[in-house]
Amino acid sequence: MIGFLHGSVAGRTADGCFVDVSGVGYKLVCSARTIAALPADGGEVRLFTHVHVREDALALFGFASEGEQRIFELLIAVGGVGPKVALAVCSAFSAEDLRRALVADDVAGISSVPGIGKKTAQRIVLELKEKLALPDLALVGAGPDTVTKARSALENLGYSPGEVRVALNEIALKDDHSVEDLVRAALKELSNDRTARGSDRLGERVGKGS
């Protein structure tokens, strides 16, 4: 069993990377989050791994942290969740963000990940909450009904489920937060994010024109 690989990044693929370990090149499948955390080609890297064996294939998955590796392995043990879907969850949520979503019973947020329906999201919440021994409390005190209503309101305003999930994860939720409080705070986060992206695109256009 391979627990981790320590070597240098030898290249990237559409869904992962190559790691050179003493002259041996390992091909790893990674989440978008892990790929984004990789150093430049030639840089030193340590990736935690999971070997997935099937009758017709053998794949090696790489993770930037033990937390992500642990979440991935818990996810693929859930009925209806394969490695591809588990990686999509790891791409959408950090290990800590997923724990917060589980505590909040945030089925809507988890089911916004491509490949996950409501029933599968419910199984993920039920099984991972138990395996991780998470409390039946809301996100830092805010009730799941409040979070769900705020999410629905933001999506009705035209924001995508992914944008809403990221915005709500940025908010320090409190016991006395109302739906209106969350929506206002999330709109501020969403506005800042879109402004930043607009500035980045403007900078790219200016750079190309110079």
Backbone phi, psi, residue 144, to 5°: -60, -35
Distance CA 206, CA 204 (A): 5
Radius of gyration of the chain (CA): 19
- Position 119 scores a pLDDT of 94
Tell me phi and psi for residue 103, to 5 degrees.
-60, -35
Lowest-confidence region among 73-77, 84-88, 134-138, 177-181: 134-138
Look at 198 and 129; give whichever has higher pLDDT: 129
Give 75-124 pLDDT, tens digit per residue: 999 999 999 999 999 999 998 889 888 877 888 899 999 999 999 999 99
Alpha helices, DSSP H only, in 54-143?
Answer: 66-75, 83-92, 95-103, 107-111, 118-131
Residue 148 has what pLDDT?
81
pLDDT at site 206: 43
Q: Greater confidence, 179 or 116?
A: 116
CATH number belonging to the domain at 1-64, selected among 3.40.50.80, 3.30.200.20, 3.40.630.10, 2.40.50.140: 2.40.50.140
pLDDT at 28 (0 to 100): 97
Report the CATH architecture of 65-137: Orthogonal Bundle (1.10)
- The percentage of the chain sitting over the pLDDT mark of 90, rounded to a whole number, equals 48
Instruction: Please give the C-alpha separations between residue 164 and each of 80, 87, 160, in angstroms, as whole numbers.
Output: 25, 20, 6
Helix (H/G/I), strand (E/B), else coil: 80: coil
Q: Is the pLDDT reported for residue 5 higher than 70? A: yes
Q: What pLDDT score does 138 carry?
A: 44
Confidence of residue 199 (pLDDT cuts 50, 70, 90): very low
- Is residue 171's pLDDT more than 80? no
